[in-house]
Amino acid sequence: MRWAAALDEQLKADAAADYRVRLAVDLVRIGHNTRINPPPRAVDLPLAAWEMTTEHHIELVSRKWPTGYAGHTAARIGHLVAVAAKEE
């Protein structure tokens, strides 16, 4: 969230909940773009077991996005703890 806040050029004039949603949408947008245009040396594990710790769980439904954003209704922001490839 601190990273998204550093990227956000708009002043923090929104209500706190709207501001958190806007930051979460920024992160969802970045994640979606990297799936469409993966960076070099990216590893895609479609059949992977993974664990993460959740620091933020943000509902993306707000006044600006009443039905969520790009098919997402919530964002979980945290740290990836473990990833293990699964056999097909």
As a whole-number percent, the residues of the chain with pLDDT over 90 amount to: 5
Give, for 36, the enclosing helix (H) or strand (E): helix 16-36
> Could you say which DSSP state residue 38 is in?
P
21-58 per-position pLDDT tens digit:
888 888 888 777 777 777 788 777 778 888 999 998 98
As a whole-number percent, the residues of the chain with pLDDT over 70 amount to: 86
Specify the pLDDT at position 8: 67
> How far does CA 8 lie from the centroid of its chain?
14
Q: Half-sphere exposure (CA, 13 Å, Cβ side) for 53?
A: 3
The pTM of this model reads 0.60
CA distance 41 to 56: 28
Summary mean pLDDT of the chain: 79
Is residue 48 within 8 Å of 83, Cβ to Cβ?
A: yes
* b/e code 26-39 from CB counts within 10 Å (16+ = b): bbbeeeeeeeeeee
